Structure 1
Amino acid sequence: MPEIAMGALSQNGTVLLARRSSTRRTHPDLWSLPGGHVEDGEDAETAMRRELMEEIGVTPQRWQFAGKVVLEGPLEASVTFHVYRIDQWHGYPRLVDDEHTELRWFSLDAIEGKAELAPPQLGEMLANLVSRETGKPA
């Protein structure tokens, strides 16, 4: 089962999302967290740190495991997404490669009402992350 590690950078009641490029094979043009595949011999935490540097040019400094989303399908289509909440990092988030076309900070309202997420199951987890930070119920 493929595993994906993702980083949810959060600050001031918002979370950073990246719009997937229209050329992506899966979920083109949808909003997602920066991240990518866990490679052989790598754990999800290491993959998350590597992917954030490769995709948005930041090095996570303080994070915690936020949870995972498992998408069930035929055996070859099942995927596990490991999500980490990052509240401290070095560098300024920017597009480094061509996997994404835009970065944007989303509030709780924007996550709940406007963001077309990939995978869609991330919505509840992200809303909970932002609401814990702001004290506003999700």
Structure 2
Amino acid sequence: MTPPIRQAARVIALDDQDRVLLLRYDEGGGFWATPGGSLDEGEDHQTALRRELHEELGVDDAELGTQVAERSQEHEVGGQTVRQVERYYLARLATGAANLARATLPDTIRSLRWWTVNELRTTSETVYPGELGDLVARLLSNGTPANPITLGS
């Protein structure tokens, strides 16, 4: 049986030092991921991103850019397997803008951290998407791609 599709919007948030903001979750053995989540009924991706940034980080004024990547992955949500189709957008945030204390729906987020590209490429911790360090290095070197880059993990 084909799992249902779950559309999601995620943000690759960079600060003024080109570090990437990731959120820590304890489920599944623990992992780090970019902010974002599934679209609500009737939402477009940009609207969902703004809502998610407010809910998860208390951020209301992010400079959202265009879509830079996409990924399709099967995983469990609420005990049901879904095929999550994620669109990744680039954004700029001030280092102090993200604050879990201002989050209105932090879900199971345990902490946040700003990562350098080198830290992303060399960490032994689980980071989603797995190619994030290489993707950010490419974006910083080459700028926004003409078409979104397809990620594998």
TM-score exceeds 0.5: yes
- Spell out the pairing of 1:41-56 with structure 2 (5 A cutoff): 41-56=42-57
Task: Note the residue ranges of structure 2 that are not aligned, 5 or more in a row.
Answer: 76-80, 144-153
Do residues 100 (structure 1) and 109 (structure 2) align? yes
Shift of the 99–72 alpha-carbon distance from structure 1 to 2, 3 Å rule, reads closer
Shift of the 80–93 alpha-carbon distance from structure 1 to 2, 3 Å rule, reads same
- In 2: Cα distance, 1:37 partner to 1:122 partner: 19
**Structure-2 residue corresponding to 1:69:** 71
Aligned residues, how many? 126
Task: Note the residue ranges of structure 1 that are not aligned, 5 or more in a row.
Answer: 134-138
Q: What's the Cα RMSD here?
A: 2.5
Do residues 6 (structure 1) and 10 (structure 2) align? yes
- Spell out the pairing of 1:1-138 with structure 2 (5 A cutoff): 1-11=5-15, 12-20=17-25, 22=26, 24=27, 27=28, 29-64=30-65, 65-71=67-73, 77-88=82-93, 92-95=97-100, 96=103, 97-114=106-123, 115-131=125-141
The answer (yes or no) to whether the contact 2:120–2:132 under 8 Å persists in 1 is no
- In 2: Cα distance, 1:82 partner to 1:98 partner: 20
- In 2: Cα distance, 1:88 partner to 1:43 partner: 21
Percent identity, aligned pairs only?
29
- TM-score, structure 1 normalization: 0.77
The answer (yes or no) to whether the contact 1:14–1:130 under 8 Å persists in 2 is no
- Structure ID, larger Rg: 2
Q: Which moved more, 1:104-113 or 1:61-70?
A: 61-70
- In 1: Cα distance, 2:72 partner to 2:128 partner: 13
- TM-score, structure 2 normalization: 0.70
Amino acid of the residue matched to residue 86 of structure 1? A
- In 2: Cα distance, 1:31 partner to 1:7 partner: 13
